[in-house]
Amino acid sequence: MASDTAQSFDSNNFDPFEQNIIMHEADGTPFLVSVNSVDAWLQYCIRICINYGCQMGASAVLLIVLILLTRAEKRSSTAFWLNSLALVSNVARLLCQLIYFTGPLVRLYPIFAGDYSRVPRSAYADSIVGAAFSFLAVVFMEVSLVLQVQVVCVTLRNWYRQVLLAVSVLVAMIPIGFRFALLVINSMSIMDLEVISSTWLENATNVVVTVSICFFCTIFVVKLGFVIKLRKKLGVREYGPMNVIFVMGCQTMIIPALFSILQYFVHVPELYSNVLTLVIISLPLSSIWASSTVEQKSRVTSRTSDSHRHLMNLNSYNPMRTKNLSTSFSTDTTTKNSMAANATCYAALSSTRQVDPELSKYGISVEHDYSVQSHQKDGGEV
């Protein structure tokens, strides 16, 4: 009997890699599951878990770095809290996704038989919580982008800035509204164990998120172009905090925009999840870079101030001349001549900021860090 079966297999060109597996439902009814379907499902679960794990690790590490590198006085700012909450929401979202793929909902028999009678309620709660954290991640991401645009465009005129704020808020609220509607429908589908029927809503949500990312990307790129052009005319090469935000805004938004557009042309189920993570991870990097630039500039300014102060003390103090100091002057003319003969000019850091009226109308503020002062050598007043 075994030899006859083997001969029939050979005669029919039997391929063991494409055979069917016979499974039975709870009432004993048999059904077939192909090996290719099982392999495809297992490969999908492995790939997406690796992807989610990498995203969660990167978000957690950046959250720790953001907390450690942010100065204490900056931890109460709105940008810090938005970036931190976005990272926390993203970590929680990815953790719930990993729990889903390693939980009782993703098992061989429930998936192919559609029998979820032994799945506990905690598994459903985990899926709903994951959907809620996905919505919160989108909210914090959009609000942070609006705030970032206002910071970048702070040099624009007040009317232009208000119009840009209104348009930015509108562009950010549309994805938030679509994502909230998708959250409600998705939660209802999870509780009813049904495949989401409103596929148009899911596609529309992806489209509006893509449009939102491309919109903010365009603002960053256009603003960056104007800044580079003006800096080239002025001959400025050093990057300040605002320029750091321009460059990082351009870099952080171009890559997510490409990923969000690429998902419509390449069929990779794990690709869309990377879009939110890329934006959420990239936004705090600009703040960290700008903060480090400010600290570096303050250290350089402090060292320069100490050098000038040391030079001033060397030029103004001479112990050999203190014995010949005059205690009074007879006339104003004698006083002026004496001060002019015993005065030393030196450069010192200025605490005031002077703005060129010709450049202020273009949104440019030039800070003069040095001023020339005179100091009397022989112990007189400055």
Q: What class has domain 20-300? A: mainly alpha
Query: Domain locations in the chain?
Result: 20-300
Which helix (H) or strand (E) is 375 found in, with range?
A: strand 370-376
Tokens linked to 381:
């007043």
254 burial (CB, 10 Å; 0-12 / 13-18 / 19+) is: middle
Residue 85 in contact with residue 67, Cβ under 8 Å?
Answer: no
Question: Can you tell me whether residue 72 is helix, strand or coil?
Answer: helix
At residue 54, the pLDDT reads 93
Return phi, psi of residue 28, to 5°. 95, 0
Q: Give the model's pLDDT for residue 287.
A: 67
pLDDT at 328: 42
| Cα–Cα nearest to 93, from 280, 218, 229 | 280
Range list of H helices, 12-77: 35-69
Predicted local confidence at residue 350, as pLDDT? 47
Please tell me the distance from the alpha carbon of residue 225 to that of residue 21, in angstroms, as a whole number: 60
Per-residue pLDDT in tens (0 to 9) along the chain, 382 residues = 444 454 455 556 777 788 888 888 888 889 899 999 999 999 999 999 999 999 999 999 999 999 888 888 888 888 889 999 999 999 999 999 999 998 888 888 888 888 888 888 888 899 999 999 999 999 999 999 998 888 878 878 888 889 999 999 999 999 999 999 999 988 888 887 766 556 788 888 888 998 998 898 888 888 877 877 887 788 776 666 656 665 665 565 777 778 788 877 877 767 778 888 988 988 887 667 666 555 555 554 555 555 545 545 555 444 444 444 444 444 444 444 444 444 444 444 444 445 455 444 444 444 444 444 555 555 554 4
**pLDDT, position 212:** 92
pLDDT of residue 247: 67
